[in-house]
Structure 1
């Protein structure tokens, strides 16, 4: 299966819950009156607990939604869960593919009630499923760790996912793909990383990912080493070597050297094709560590919950890199020269409107004053800022006036991504220089 085909299938999987599974059957169905009556009693008694803090905080709105459909359940009937209710549970149990966890969505209690036939228990199940759906959809739309979480590195403004309005729109909307797509990350790299996470997970479960011993020291070109076959296998699985070109045996030959150079490029190491200590150390990272890294960066991708526009700067502090996009096309990449000074800079979005002295002034951000060169306050200093400024001056929609004011603002998105997938199907990893991955893991998974 090609990577493109896998990408299409996983995109469909990402939409599955939000599209096909959520169509509520007509409120006039005659096989859910008992559960409907139990739901009405629960709401009247103020005894509805959806298991979702977001939904419970706006329970009056959710009650209004259910009342508008005569309290008919969304996920169950009098004789048990609907097919889409069971499918919802299955999707929540597979939420790991999004880098999330089934424990976030009350799946244990939902599973305990899935065989229920008592109307009160089924009413409880319907409320729990609505709450789980609301939380899952909200997590996909904004990420789970928002600015309100102490210690969060995320300062993006969250999209409002009104619980009642969301469920109502999902139940009554006609064009579900169009409706659902706005709640998912606007960046295709999110879906790419889902694809690679699933692929790497399958390799791990099959026990095929090789273990590389870095402690045995570097391997010289032309030398024989018992680790070489495992290194060939790793490079093939990671997409750095085509199987037909991978060679064989335990000699560090030319074919292997080309794959090593590709591996080094994906990890931003010196691309000399040598199996030195730094390269072997990256190869020795266990697959479980790479899976964890990808899951954490799916969360960071979800924080990008808006389109960045045709003119923008994408700043990845973990990569020490700035990508300049003008008129929808990438026109240049630039290295950040003062990365250590930016260790406390969170993920945020702002606008840059003033160009001068090779520098863009960023407005409305408490984290950054300028990008492109020396300036007052906290600044991202990039290499070749004169070229950077000249590219902006030449852009059709970003040409500054005599005072340096841009005709249209350039969005500046600053993030910290240590793993991402590119359109060629390869995964790039970066060293967690700021030590943020363990902190995010603790917030996201309680580790």
Structure 2
């Protein structure tokens, strides 16, 4: 009897194995048919999931001899886990049509070979979309800026072959781990996003009534609401009681909130502070998502040394050997004279620079001043140049007309560029430089220039850029400055400078920083991130 049972069991096992093999072969045949239809254009979507990586999908299945990928439990679980985990990067489930993929999987449970093949191919398309979003970002930055000139790092070799190797010897999760950006600023942004998403899950915060300006030392019925609002974001450490007093503890909390929102930290709550307080948690989440997307455009395969300007901050950093070693406050362009976003190489430094006034500034700013004040040019140490670039007497110019002249401000304490500028020739005539008015750095809101970037401690940056030159010294720099002569010093090696725009980030101390979007650039990025793919 036992022998008979063994025989029956073995026969059933063989029959089941043969049936599974037959079904697997049928699934493979359907996958091959569907991929041929994809490549020919006869099939452009499955289950409302439109193909965007047709060549990759077809190539991957060809490498695998059209064997299904995601019907195997471990791979399928990996994909599901990574799609859920994609929220860490600021993506949404809708980006990957997770609900449609789940429907296709439910249909495939019937065991129909065509349904199994359709699910598998759709899952491969979704996996390709996930990998592309993590590696490159969801949105092409050139959609917002036709002059975008940052290099985009491309994955080396054959992407399909790489993915196939990971699927064979490791997993999709291992591949995702290997291509994720590990830049500290990116990881801090992920931490900030998780924090604000947790706040959103708890219901966010209530709006603080804006009926009147709130000042330290006063009493106001709004104070309990204000305390609760600040407690939710970790800005207020005091007691949540019914007191209406704007006391010292609350004052310090408000100043801290103002500082991390780029506002004048005086404790007085007026229109700008109310605006920052009453931005919704969803708005803050979207700002962080926009910053993560921008980071994906920028933070892959960076040079070991570079200067990084955050126009939205505004601050300037120097990164050496991959570590931030220096930062300083900066002044950037006003909303109507925006500092552009681009990348170039700093090639040389000019000490005691002259300043040739750009035509737009000459016509819009300088000409009216000259017409009102006949001593303006001499007081500012300006030289007037004719159309050939030769100095001429200012009195020979009809300033009330449309003079075909230009202005050059000579070196000295009144020069708008200060005592040093860092040159990276570019189409915008923008550079980093010193200033003759250092008091402006004390403002929290520093969008004040005509487009160039003023930096607070320029000589520190000069010494860092020249550090590898054995002949460079602080004493030598001071001697150049004391000479009063314009002197050009070439860098030992060109150093990249990245002019970027971030309105949300987490700083090195763990403080989440937000700024108003003065250039009105966030909305377009957020809209693109929130757009639902066609398929």
Question: TM-score, normalised to structure 1's length?
Answer: 0.78
Aligned to 2:256: 262
Cα distance in 2 for partners of 1:173, 1:397 equals 48
Paired residue for 2:515, among 430, 436, 446? 430
Cα distance in 1 for partners of 2:469, 2:225 equals 51
Aligned-pair CA distance for 1:193 = 2.2
The structure with the larger Rg is 2
Query: Does the Cα contact within 8 Å between 1:316 and 1:416 map onto a contact in 2?
Result: yes
Aligned to 2:228: 233
Deviation per residue, 1:323-343 (Å, 9 max, x gap): 233453422313124444752
Aligned-pair CA distance for 1:283 = 0.8
Aligned-pair CA distance for 1:157 = 2.6
Cα distance in 1 for partners of 2:520, 2:152 equals 25
Paired residue for 1:99, among 64, 82, 90? 90
**Quick one: higher RCO (CA 8 Å, sep 6+), 1 or 2?**
2
Gaps of 5+ in 1: 1-28
In the superposition, relative to structure 1, how do residues 191 and 112 fare at CA in structure 2: closer, same or farther (>3 Å)? Answer: same
Aligned to 1:371: 432
Aligned-pair CA distance for 1:118 = 1.7
Aligned to 2:464: 392
Paired residue for 2:203, among 190, 202, 207? 207
1:48-87 correspondence runs (5 A):
49=44, 51=49, 54-56=52-54, 58-59=55-56, 62-77=57-72, 82-87=73-78
Cα distance in 1 for partners of 2:233, 2:205 equals 10
Query: Does the Cα contact within 8 Å between 2:219 and 2:246 map onto a contact in 1?
Result: yes
Aligned-pair CA distance for 1:54 = 4.5
Query: Does the Cα contact within 8 Å between 2:131 and 2:176 map onto a contact in 1?
Result: no
Aligned-pair CA distance for 1:260 = 0.9
Worse-matched range after superposition: 407-416 or 33-42 = 33-42
Query: Does the Cα contact within 8 Å between 1:105 and 1:135 map onto a contact in 2?
Result: yes
Aligned to 1:324: 318
In the superposition, relative to structure 1, how do residues 272 and 83 fare at CA in structure 2: closer, same or farther (>3 Å)? Answer: same
Aligned-pair CA distance for 1:254 = 0.9
Query: Does the Cα contact within 8 Å between 2:189 and 2:505 map onto a contact in 1?
Result: yes
Query: Does the Cα contact within 8 Å between 1:212 and 1:283 map onto a contact in 2?
Result: yes
Paired residue for 2:32, among 22, 37, 40? 40
Aligned to 2:166: 170
Aligned-pair CA distance for 1:175 = 9.4
Aligned-pair CA distance for 1:52 = 6.0
Gaps of 5+ in 2: 1-19, 352-419, 436-449, 474-486
- Give the secondary-structure state (helix, strand or coil) at the position aligned to 1:131: helix
Aligned alpha-carbon RMSD (Å): 3.3
Query: Does the Cα contact within 8 Å between 2:141 and 2:297 map onto a contact in 1?
Result: no
Worse-matched range after superposition: 418-427 or 402-411 = 402-411
Aligned to 1:111: 102
Cα distance in 1 for partners of 2:422, 2:70 equals 51
